[in-house]
Amino acid sequence: MVHGAQLLFCTAVLLNVGAASVLGDRPSARSLSLQVEFAALNETVGGRLYTAVPWELPCFSEYNGTAVTPDEAACAIVQDNYTDPFTRVTHFGAYMASQWETCQAESPNAGCLLDLSDPTDPDAFDGVDCQLGNIPSYYIDVRYPSDVQAALNFSETTGVRLSVKNKGHDYKGRSSGKGTLALWVTNLNSISHNNSFVPEGCSTAYDAITIGPGAITEDIFEYVDNINRTFIGGYHQTIGAGGGYFLGGGHSVLSPVFGLAVDRVVQVKVVTPEGQYVTANECQHPELFFALRGGGGSAWGVVFESTHRLAPQVTLQVASIGFTEHANSSNLADWYELLVNETYRFGTEGWGGHIVGPTIIYVNSLLSNAEANASMQAVADFALDQGGTAVVEELPSYLAFFSKYVTLAEVGVGPETTMGSRLIPTSLFDNEVGRTTLSNTIKNVLSFVNPYIVVGTPFLYNYTVGTTSVTPAWRDSLWHLSIHSEWVWNSTVEYIAEQYTAVTQHAQLFRDITPGSGAYFNEGDVYEPNHTYSYWGENYEILRDIKEFYDPKGLLDCWQCVGWTGAEDTLYECFVEL
Ligand SMILES: Cc1cc2nc3c(=O)[nH]c(=O)nc-3n(C[C@H](O)[C@H](O)[C@H](O)COP(=O)(O)OP(=O)(O)OC[C@H]3O[C@@H](n4cnc5c(N)ncnc54)[C@H](O)[C@@H]3O)c2cc1C
Ligand SMILES: *[C@@H]1O[C@H](CO)[C@@H](O)[C@H](O)[C@H]1NC(C)=O
Ligand SMILES: *[C@@H]1O[C@H](CO)[C@@H](O)[C@H](O)[C@H]1NC(C)=O
Ligand SMILES: *[C@@H]1O[C@H](CO)[C@@H](O)[C@H](O)[C@H]1NC(C)=O
Ligand SMILES: *[C@@H]1O[C@H](CO)[C@@H](O)[C@H](O)[C@H]1NC(C)=O
Ligand SMILES: *[C@@H]1O[C@H](CO)[C@@H](O)[C@H](O)[C@H]1NC(C)=O
Ligand SMILES: *[C@@H]1O[C@H](CO)[C@@H](O)[C@H](O)[C@H]1NC(C)=O
Ligand SMILES: *[C@@H]1O[C@H](CO)[C@@H](O)[C@H](O)[C@H]1NC(C)=O
Ligand SMILES: *[C@@H]1O[C@H](CO)[C@@H](O)[C@H](O)[C@H]1NC(C)=O
Ligand SMILES: *[C@@H]1O[C@H](CO)[C@@H](O)[C@H](O)[C@H]1NC(C)=O
Ligand SMILES: *[C@@H]1O[C@H](CO)[C@@H](O)[C@H](O)[C@H]1NC(C)=O
Ligand SMILES: *[C@@H]1O[C@H](CO)[C@@H](O)[C@H](O)[C@H]1NC(C)=O
Ligand SMILES: *[C@@H]1O[C@H](CO)[C@@H](O)[C@H](O)[C@H]1NC(C)=O
């Protein structure tokens, strides 16, 4: 049987070669026939096929070796909004981590980026050749399942590879891809509520919202606030909560009590790689549903909508404490050590939050204001002693918290940036040896970077074992800790490679003290070693079987995803080789 399959494969390859030579040996004949195929595809999708261009192109006077006329007004809009996520999400050729617009492996870096520190800096665009880089060549503005079916069919017949883009937040280049035809799902952005939603074929009813992948997190928070509910979502305004966010796990500062995004999803509608539009939930297509709950974006088909359980409106205690202007190497080390000391207790009390160097913003839905104040006393005292500030206040809703704090504190977009991360297990917090080990490791990386810590693991959430495919390490961890690095528009490929390497090496210090733990797929190291174990742990083998079943032809592939073909695939030619 194996031989038969191999034979079939060889015959197919030969037929392809044969078809090309029938059309003539000149390369233009093949590209001409491809153009005909693209025109037919365009007709099938109602004229919603587009040629992609870099978002920054209006600033340049040369594109791909040809002179073009800059558009000053359009360029000014790009420059003024270079770090604005709301502008970036509206342009196909813009990504939040901007190196994924470029072909990093090429020297000089082939792209069309501006100087982030001053987008009007003419050095970035005067006399510079703007390149499409790693941005897909074409995209379909996806509106209907038939659009995806046509693209899958097109990919199979032409060999043109596919990519899926939503809000462009991916940190690992999985929503771009040189030479690909992209499925842009950004306009599938509906939001609706049903307080007695019953998944198809099931009997349990949930108070839930159904969202398209393109609905942005902030709009969802506003929508549910209006109906006096809480949605468990990420710490940024424009993430596509119904796209890559939940597919990879999805953490929130409310996750310690309310679970990860994958814990709250009850149904997903998806066009599978074989072109079927299916409804997956606990009662039908349960294996696919399991895979969609943490198996990662891009791999299982194209999601059209997902339904998520809501929580009642919550009153929140917010602790905003820090000493930014007074931070130095010695008080920062003590600060992290204090937080390590307190983390287990904070976990049992239901706190979630972010630690960004000398500041924390934590929230709690279980404590009263007096209890929260007492709980945070030691941390507040520490910050005040350094000359910092401390507030522990009560806010009436998650939206009130999001609007007052998160919109100012969320991670900035636009830089070329990478991260390495690790889920830090309870065993490094609930005993003195563990705490000392962790504090010392943090101390050792402070000269490189202040670790960014998300207290967003489902520590108190009553999880039903086996229902999601994220690594089980999430269930027994208190921190998702990450190490970041950035570089600039004109960095050399060697320098870029050094940044990826440095991040991997510093993250390794945390891997070394957490054997058997894992990492967050959506916010992991681009070069994560042993990535299948880190992201999925013991779930990987079954995920791989499900992938083979639903995508037998491997039409959807992405970097370090389930069933990944590997870095040698030409799809990844723009990834830097370390
Ligand atoms: C500034 C910033 C802040 C962040 N904060 C958080 C946070 O607080 N919590 C958290 O958990 N994560 C956070 N993330 C990570 C975020 O969850 C991931 O980047 C996520 O993948 C983004 O999904 P997207 O659909 O918006 O992005 P995209 O880059 O468009 O897509 C991400 C991946 O999902 C795939 N995908 C997207 N839509 C679909 C679909 N409809 N069907 C199939 N595949 C799809 C893409 O192919 C790609 O592989 C943050 C990221 C950034 C840049
Ligand atoms: C697809 O068709 C539309 C409408 O006819 C057209 O505007 C668009 O340019 C076409 N796309 C491509 C890539 O040719
Ligand atoms: C850029 O030019 C090269 C050849 O000069 C061509 O093969 C390629 O398709 C062009 N790319 C774009 C995005 O136009
Ligand atoms: C971008 O910047 C301009 C100012 O140049 C501003 O008027 C506009 O609202 C911004 N946003 C978008 C989405 O263009
Ligand atoms: C798939 O492609 C073939 C050949 O291009 C075409 O004949 C067929 O109609 C397509 N099917 C779908 C569902 O688009
Ligand atoms: C809510 O879900 C129930 C059960 O599936 C269904 O009968 C009802 O029509 C839905 N309501 C709305 C407004 O969609
Ligand atoms: C988890 O379940 C236990 C026992 O049923 C209950 O006491 C606790 O409140 C639950 N926790 C959460 C966060 O719902
Ligand atoms: C909003 O929800 C909360 C929590 O369920 C409830 O106590 C409150 O009465 C509701 N308010 C309104 C206006 O419905
Ligand atoms: C952390 O706890 C240890 C003892 O468990 C103590 O020695 C150390 O001083 C504490 N660190 C801080 C900064 O409070
Ligand atoms: C760090 O800052 C604190 C508080 O401002 C100060 O007391 C301490 O001397 C400083 N330490 C170093 C090494 O600069
Ligand atoms: C905690 O409560 C005390 C007593 O009411 C108050 O003085 C203090 O400012 C509060 N701390 C914070 C951080 O809000
Ligand atoms: C990048 O450009 C800046 C000017 O914007 C220049 O100062 C710097 O030397 C350049 N770096 C490299 C590596 O070329
Ligand atoms: C990956 O990590 C797991 C858990 O530590 C280990 O059992 C496995 O052997 C590792 N695999 C590789 C290829 O290193």
Nearest protein Cα to ligand 3, atom 10: 64
Q: Give residue 108's pLDDT.
A: 85
* Contact (CB, 8 A) for 405 and 429: no
- Considering the segment(s) 316-516 as one domain, its CATH architecture is 3-Layer(aba) Sandwich (3.40)
Residue with tokens 């297990």: 425
Residue minimizing CA distance to atom 7 of ligand 5: 153
> Residue 194 C-alpha to ligand 8 middle, in angstroms?
17
CA 34 to ligand 3 center in whole angstroms = 15
Ligand 13 binding pocket (C-beta < 6 A) is: 515-516, 530, 533
Cis peptide before 108 (omega within 30 of 0): yes
Is the distance from CB of 291 to CB of 329 less than 8 angstroms?
Answer: no
Query: Which two three-digit tokens encode residue 318?
Result: 């917010």
Best mutation site among 34, 144, 153 for ligand 5, i.e. most ligand atoms within 8 A of its Cβ?
153
**Ligand 6 touching residue 575 (CB < 6 A):** no
Report the DSSP beta bridge partners of residue 110: 103
CATH number of 191-313+539-572: 3.30.465.10
pLDDT score recorded for residue 540 = 98
Q: Any residues with CB less than 8 A from the CB of 436 and at least 6 apart, and which?
A: none
Using CA atoms of 379, 385, 388, 393 in order, give the dihedral in degrees to the nearest 10.
40
**What confidence score (pLDDT) does residue 227 get?**
98
Q: Is the CB of 385 under 6 A from ligand 9?
A: no
177: Cβ–Cβ under 8 A, 6 or more apart, which residues? 134, 136, 161, 163, 558, 571
Separation CA 118–CA 308 (nearest Å): 41
Name 37's Cβ contacts closer than 8 Å, sequence gap at least 6. 154, 157, 158
Among all ligands shown, which has an atom nearest to the Cα of 440? Answer: 9
pLDDT in tens, the chain (578 residues): 333 333 333 333 333 333 333 334 455 777 889 999 999 999 999 999 999 999 999 999 999 999 999 999 999 999 999 999 999 999 999 999 999 999 999 988 899 999 999 999 999 999 999 999 999 999 999 999 999 999 999 999 999 999 999 999 999 999 999 999 999 999 999 999 999 999 999 999 999 999 999 999 999 999 999 999 999 999 999 999 999 999 999 999 999 999 999 999 999 999 999 999 999 999 999 999 999 999 999 999 999 999 999 999 999 999 999 999 999 999 999 999 999 999 999 999 999 999 999 999 999 999 999 999 999 999 999 999 999 999 999 999 999 999 999 999 999 999 999 999 999 999 999 999 999 999 999 999 999 999 999 999 999 999 999 999 999 999 999 999 999 999 999 999 999 999 999 999 999 999 999 999 999 999 999 999 999 999 999 999 999 999 999 999 999 999 999 999 999 999 999 999 99
Decide whether 191-313+539-572 matches 316-516 in CATH topology.
no
Residue 208's DSSP bridge partners are 194, 309
Predicted confidence at residue 26, as pLDDT, reads 55
- Any idea where the domains of the chain sit in the sequence? 7-184, 191-313+539-572, 316-516
The pLDDT assigned to 28 comes to 73
* Ligand 11 nearest-atom number relative to CA 373: 1
What span, in angstroms and rounded, lies between the C-alpha atoms of 79 and 118? 8
Cα–Cα distances in Å, from 234 out to 48, 217, 254, 302, 353?
A: 30, 7, 9, 21, 11
